Amino acid sequence: MKVKKESFILIFGTILSIVAFVGIKAGHFYLHGLCNCLSGKLFEYVIPLSGLVSVIFLTNGVIVKLIKQRQAASENVKKAYETMNGISRINEAMLSRLQLNKLGQAENYLKIIGTILGTEGVKLKNRAALCFLAFLNKHNNSLEGNVIYKKDEDLIIDNEIIKIDINSEVAAAGGMNNMEFSNWADTNDSIEKYQDNFEDKVRQKVGIIKNFIAYRFKGFEEGVLIFYNYENDVDQYDADIVRDLVGYVGSLHSISIKQKENVMLQYLVMRKLADLAEKRDPETGKHLLRIQSYCRFIAETLSVKEKYKGVIDVTFIEDIYSSSPLHDIGKVGIEDRLLLKPGRLTPDEMAIMKTHTLIGAEVLKGPAFLKMGRDIAHYHHEKWDGTGYPEGIKGEDIPLSARIMALADVYDALVSKRVYKEAFSQEKAEALIKEGIGSHFDPVIGVFFMEHTAKFVEIKNSFQEEIGNPGF
């Protein structure tokens, strides 16, 4: 059986006290002689002995108290280290991406919340069961948010949006300062009466509330973060941890809001650029809309294949949908006499027309959000075997987005009516694309098309056909 450290210290202290007592009394014996032993001076030994016993107990009591205080402080330091180390790992993972659109995504501040709920591998001594995260809606002066809880090892966001009047006096909304924490046992009320402090809709999700820590945060976004039902009573240490987390959550949510606005602005810029190209070539009809849908379908379906896991993600899919209308942006630099010429172009005219890929790449130089659009505009006429233009690159040297675009663009040109031809039948279009697999088209993407022709037909039919110019 393992003896605790306190026991060793108690035994050592007792022995040390006895030795000191014996030493003192030995000197006394030497000075007064053995004759004094029977001289009636019994109290000379009884009183020091009683004092010794008192000193032993008092000394050992202080020692035990100091040991416990030191252990508690050590445990708090350990908890603080584990907590901040876990939070730092999450922040490092987010910052390492160096992409604002990922940094501001909601799942990142959910990871921060997960440190308290225990889904992020941070071993807190005191963890909450669930939380309520709400943001201020300034239009109706209410806090609006969701209950978030742990299920197995994942965070789950309850679908119901709960609205709380900011002026209400429940602890989850108004009537509190920047921070508040409480245990029901610290109040004079019963645990049942304690429930009156909380918003009914929140309490219905939480159940019986025994403690909570709530923080209001302000800034670009205002809101409240409340953790409920910790495993043990909450104290200032637990509240300080939540206070630090609130700064992260508020900042990341603000970034998320701003980034959504930024993405919308970026998409608007790309849409307007595509509209500009379309105005120079007004007979493209629904071509751009169909192209977007083809590209998104290809990307979404390929993303689950082993070859493309980690390559085609949500961001890639969103980018190719937004960027695909820019594939012919370079046509703004082509003369009207060529761009609007009915019928086939001469070889010299075709050579000039091919420069729209280089013009497009030049036009889209600059901002990072135009990177995929630039690749598509530059390379969507390259071929798998290297016989395409303008660079004559081949295989996987051609950006994946451009290889997807190549098939989508050719298919739409084949099945669409043009000024110089009728639309090809689906059967003929499929035959031509099948013939080009491994030469014109990426084999994986070409085979994918042949396996999903029905979906391509569905997309084509979902847009009204219009007469258009060829996709050069």
**What pLDDT score was predicted for residue 466?**
46
Q: Does the pLDDT value for residue 437 go beyond 80?
A: yes
Among residues of the chain, what percentage have pLDDT more than 90? 28
DSSP string, 143-186: EEEEEEEEETTEEEE-SPPEEEETT--STTSSS--SEEEEEGGG
Is the same domain home to 138 and 237? Answer: yes
pTM comes to 0.53
Q: Does the pLDDT value for residue 97 go beyond 50?
A: no
Is the same domain home to 300 and 364? Answer: yes
What's the whole-number mean pLDDT along residues 434-451? 95
CATH number of the domain bearing residue 244: 3.30.450.40
**What pLDDT score was predicted for residue 119?**
74
Residue 416 lies in a domain: yes
CA separation for the pair 367, 420 (Å, rounded): 38
Name the least confident of 27-41, 69-83, 100-114.
27-41
φ, ψ of residue 131 to 5 degrees: the values are: -145, 165
Is the same domain home to 80 and 119? Answer: no
What's the whole-number mean pLDDT along residues 347-371? 88
Is the same domain home to 178 and 231? Answer: yes
Is the same domain home to 306 and 440? Answer: yes
Domain end position, chosen among 46, 75, 96: 96
Q: Which domain holds residue 116?
A: 100-257
| CB-based burial label for 222 (10 Å; 0-12, 13-18, 19+) | middle
CA separation for the pair 256, 88 (Å, rounded): 20
Query: Which ranges constitute the DSSP H helices of 286-392?
Result: 287-302, 314-323, 336-339, 347-354, 356-363, 371-379
Residue 272 lies in a domain: no
Is the same domain home to 160 and 250? Answer: yes
Domain end position, chosen among 195, 225, 257: 257
What's the whole-number mean pLDDT along residues 269-276? 70
Higher pLDDT, 55 or 409: 409
**What pLDDT score was predicted for residue 65?**
65
287-302 vs 400-415: helix crossing angle, rounded to 10? 130
**What pLDDT score was predicted for residue 328?**
87
Structure tokens at 453: 């022709």
Is the same domain home to 306 and 204? Answer: no
Residue range 143-188, pLDDT digits in tens: 888 898 888 878 888 989 998 887 776 655 554 457 788 999 988 8
CATH number of the domain bearing residue 381: 1.10.3210.10
Residue 112 lies in a domain: yes
Is the same domain home to 364 and 401? Answer: yes
Domain end position, chosen among 35, 70, 96: 96
Is the same domain home to 174 and 311? Answer: no
Residue 29 lies in a domain: yes
Nearest CA among 228, 226, 54 for reference residue 126: 228
**What pLDDT score was predicted for residue 48?**
55
Is the same domain home to 130 and 196? Answer: yes
Is the same domain home to 211 and 81? Answer: no
Is the same domain home to 60 and 109? Answer: no
CA separation for the pair 165, 170 (Å, rounded): 9
Residue 215 lies in a domain: yes
Helix or strand or coil: residue 220? coil
Residue 466 lies in a domain: no
Domain count within the chain:
3
Residue 404 lies in a domain: yes
Helix or strand or coil: residue 137? strand
Q: Does the pLDDT value for residue 425 go beyond 50?
A: yes
Residue range 289-331, pLDDT digits in tens: 899 999 999 999 999 888 898 889 988 998 999 889 888 888 8
What's the whole-number mean pLDDT along residues 49-61? 56
Give the bridge partners for 182, in sequence order: 212
**What pLDDT score was predicted for residue 410?**
94
Give, for 277, the enclosing helix (H) or strand (E). Answer: helix 236-280
**What pLDDT score was predicted for residue 111?**
75
**What pLDDT score was predicted for residue 34?**
43
Quick one: how far is CA 426 from the chain centroid? 43
Helix or strand or coil: residue 117? helix
Residue 271 lies in a domain: no
Q: Does the pLDDT value for residue 7 go beyond 90?
A: no
What's the whole-number mean pLDDT along residues 424-446? 95
Structure tokens at 383: 């071929």
Nearest CA among 56, 95, 463 for reference residue 251: 95
43-97 vs 5-32: helix crossing angle, rounded to 10? 150
Listed in sequence order, the residues at least 6 apart from 370 whose beta carbon sits closer than 8 Å to its beta carbon are 270, 323, 326, 364
**What pLDDT score was predicted for residue 123?**
67
Name the least confident of 39-43, 69-73, 427-431.
39-43
